[in-house]
Amino acid sequence: MRRPVVAGNWKMHGSRADNTRLVDALVEASDALPCDVVICPPAVYLWEVGRQVKDSRIALGAQSLCAEAQGAFTGEVSSGMLRDVGASYVIVGHSERRALYGETDALVARKFVAAQSSGLTPILCVGETLEEWEQGATEQVVARQLDAVLELAGVAAFARAIVAYEPVWAIGTGKNATPDQAQAVHAFIRARIAARDAIIGDGLRLLYGGSVKAANAAELFGQPDVDGGLVGGASLKADEFVRICVAADGGRA
Ligand code: 13P
């Protein structure tokens, strides 16, 4: 049985005061949640938020990392540094990084490997744009994004990773994929990994991301290959995020 995961990607939001309020409320609710919970604040807040969640079941994740271990890379943060301040997860290949910061499939694969080299669990994001969706190219795009990582890291690396399917047209738009649409792509991703290693494919936790909210979470997470969510906007509201986490047992409990 795959244990569900709900990860909150705060993106570039928050302040020390906002974070304290949000994290206090999450920590208070965390013991009762039926899933692994990860919160991913902006890098500058990782240490402080890490202290706040230290005695709870909430884990800390970063939103990105540098593919290099150290050196003259102004503005970048390495996997070892993220580990050092208490992170145990890192989002890799988010569509905003791909689209706005030119991260290629090859670079994303290197970041995935860099994350694991310090013991971080990568949350690898894949997903098609609206144009690709309309062209019916979803599987082709997702396969290309996955294969770049499979080729560099090998299938065994997916035993220590999470994959998030985030259709770009559903991110921050209020327009989520339907449960059936999400399930179809998740099944495709699982089958692609399972074709290389059946046990790793079966155990891989696959998250859906894109306009997840309390009102649609149970239906999405109830799909057989949807093992939780990667939540943006709704992860900034404690009540809403807790309700999404509660929905993560997907009727399995
Ligand atoms: P929203 O939940 O705001 O659509 O964002 C999804 C996302 O990009 C999470 O990484």
Q: What is the mean pLDDT of residues 5-13?
A: 98
Tell me, what's the pLDDT at 1?
Answer: 83
3-state secondary structure of 21: helix
Which residues, in sequence order, are bridge partners of residue 59?
38
**Does the pLDDT at position 213 exceed 60?**
yes
**Does the pLDDT at position 7 exceed 70?**
yes
Mutual angle of helices 214-221 and 179-194, in 10-degree steps? 40
Give the end-to-end CA distance of the chain in Å, rounded to a whole number.
Answer: 11
Tell me, what's the pLDDT at 253?
Answer: 44
Task: Tell which residue, 145, 49, 148, 42, has the closest CA to residue 91.
Answer: 42
Report d(CA 95, CA 109) in Å as an integer: 14
Task: Tell which residue, 175, 167, 246, has the closest CA to residue 6.
Answer: 246
Distance 71 CA to ligand 1 centre (A): 32
Q: What is the pLDDT of residues 63-115, one digit of tens each?
A: 999 999 999 999 999 999 999 999 999 999 999 999 999 999 999 999 999 99
Tell me, what's the pLDDT at 250?
Answer: 64
Q: What is the mean pLDDT of residues 126-144?
A: 97
Q: What is the mean pLDDT of residues 116-128?
A: 98
Domains, the chain, with CATH or none: 5-247 (3.20.20.70)
The closest residue, in CA terms, to atom 5 on ligand 1 is 232
From the CB of residue 209, how many other CB atoms can be counted at a distance below 10 Å? 28
Is the CB of residue 57 less than 8 Å from the CB of residue 38?
no
The closest residue, in CA terms, to atom 2 on ligand 1 is 232
Does ligand 1 lie within 6 Å of residue 231's CB atom? yes
Confidence of residue 249 (pLDDT cuts 50, 70, 90): confident
From the CB of residue 4, how many other CB atoms can be counted at a distance below 10 Å? 24
Distance 8 CA to ligand 1 centre (A): 8
Close Cβ partners of 148 (under 8 Å, ≥ 6 residues apart) = 105, 106, 108, 109
Does ligand 1 lie within 6 Å of residue 224's CB atom? no
Mean pLDDT, the chain, integer: 96
Percent of the chain whose predicted confidence (pLDDT) is above 90 = 96
**Does the pLDDT at position 231 exceed 70?**
yes
